[in-house]
Amino acid sequence: MPQISERGLEMPESPIRKLAPLAADAKKRGIKVYHLNIGQPDLPTPQVAIDAIKHVDRKILEYSPSQGYRSYREKLVGYYRKYGISVTADDIIVTCGGSEAVLFAFMSCLNPGDEIIVPEPAYANYMAFAISAGAKIRTITTTIEEGFCLPKVEKFEELINPKTRAILICNPNNPTGYLYTRREMNQIRDMVKKHDLYLFSDEVYREYIYTGSPYISACHLEGIEQNVVLIDSVSKRYSECGIRIGALITKNKEVRKAVMKFCQARLSPPLIGQIAAEASLDAPEEYSRDVYDEYVERRKCLIDGLNRIPGVYSPIPMGAFYTVAKLPVDDSEKFCRWCLEEFSYENETVMMAPASGFYTTPGAGRNQVRIAYVLNKEDLRKALIVLRKALEQYPGRAEDD
């Protein structure tokens, strides 16, 4: 039997999805599982998007252009303008989810062995895409005690070497909910400029900023226009995770030219997804406002609830719809498994994502979990009760440090 590739062995299992079989088994045993593990909002997709799908008036579900439909890209220009991001339709390449945008950015910009600096905890799949491209993620650890703010520039400078080719940020951050300040963004800009690095900026949560602080996009930073590659997706803002529509946006023509070759190889982004995404841009303003207001309340509900559980601590996330919380357990992965395999309270349990999968530093995040507040408040409250009971009964409880 021929062997699996080294890359195939090295690829991490998704910390968000790898426990899914255990959740399925729990459900088979009749247990209700609160999914706090995955950023799958329970909020409705805009009705205009559902309607656009229902009214698909085509005889043939044909290929679309490799870079995505022009009509959709032109409409996106107006969307970005509202956020002070000035792009043309030609700067935008439609991808199969934000995932493909990250993969193609890495494939086009990084050679095997090249290094990318990423503040950790970080969205776990960046590691997976880096392995796919043969690149190496070098992480800078941010801490729960400091609210996951950006470490000092010196920490970056220590890591930068001739192999360093890029900095990657997610802003607002998944998994921490942290929002980079203008000062932090300017620091990043200066490093990018000084060392002529790429800046990959994943900004798929820009709609969800709760503190009144300004959203500073990588595209707002002056003097590094040729270095910035913006990663985007409609998944979260329209509750359309399943349609797989994202975008890669850059002013750098050479990058676009390379990315387009990867796009041509996979032929085209999903057709129906583009139809839904384009229609979603016409969703009424109330849609976004209602969704936003709902997340504001859920955030409060979750964070207050977490911090009331003895031994649990969560900072207050400024954006996105996740938090990284510290639990009084020996090993959060063991705890998350235990919740699904051995525990239930009134026939219910919780599924969370062990945070260790969001760190590359060994041992980091061992007593942390990522929790998504994508469930309605009633479910969140119930899930909090279940979590409290689980922590009371869990045999591997750790004393507070």
List the x/- string, 142-171, binding to its own copies by CB under 8 A: -----------------------xx-----
**Spatial distance between the Cα atoms of 65 and 270, rounded to a whole number of angstroms:** 10
* Contact status: 262 vs its own copies (CB under 8 A): yes
Identify which of residues 99 and 344 has a Cβ nearer to its own copies in the complex.
99
Contacts of 214 (CB under 8 A, 6+ apart): 182
Q: Which is nearer to its own copies, 2 or 310 (CB)?
A: 2
Cα–chain-centroid distance for residue 325?
17
Asked if 250 is part of the footprint of its own copies (rule: CB under 8 A), the reply reads: no
CA 121 vs. chain centroid, Å, equals: 11
Of 111-140, which residues contact its own copies (CB under 8 A)? 111-112, 114, 125, 128-129, 132-134
Q: Does 290 bind its own copies (CB under 8 A)?
A: no
Q: What burial class does residue 397 get, using C-beta atoms within 10 Å of its C-beta: 0-12 exposed, 13-18 middle, 19+ buried?
A: middle
Q: Is 109 in the site for its own copies (CB under 8 A)?
A: yes
Measured from the CB atom, the residue of 166 and 383 that comes closer to its own copies is 166
DSSP secondary structure code for residue 351 in this structure: E
DSSP state of 240: -
Judged by CB, which is closer to its own copies: 77, or 271? 271
**Largest CA-CA distance found in the chain, in angstroms, rounded:** 64
**Contact call for residue 56 and its own copies (CB under 8 A):** yes
Minimum distance from residue 55 beta carbon to its own copies (Å): 8
Nearest to 373 by CA among 341, 350, 343: 350
Q: Is the dihedral of CA 69, 40, 282, 85 positive or negative?
A: negative
Q: What amino acid is encoded at 310 in this protein?
A: P
Q: Binding of its own copies at residue 222 (CB under 8 A)? A: no
Q: Please, what is the minimum distance in Å from the beta carbon of residue 109 to its own copies? A: 6
Q: Does residue 296 belong to the site contacting its own copies (CB under 8 A)?
A: no
198 vs 343, beta carbon nearer its own copies: 198
CB of 144 to its own copies, least distance (A): 25
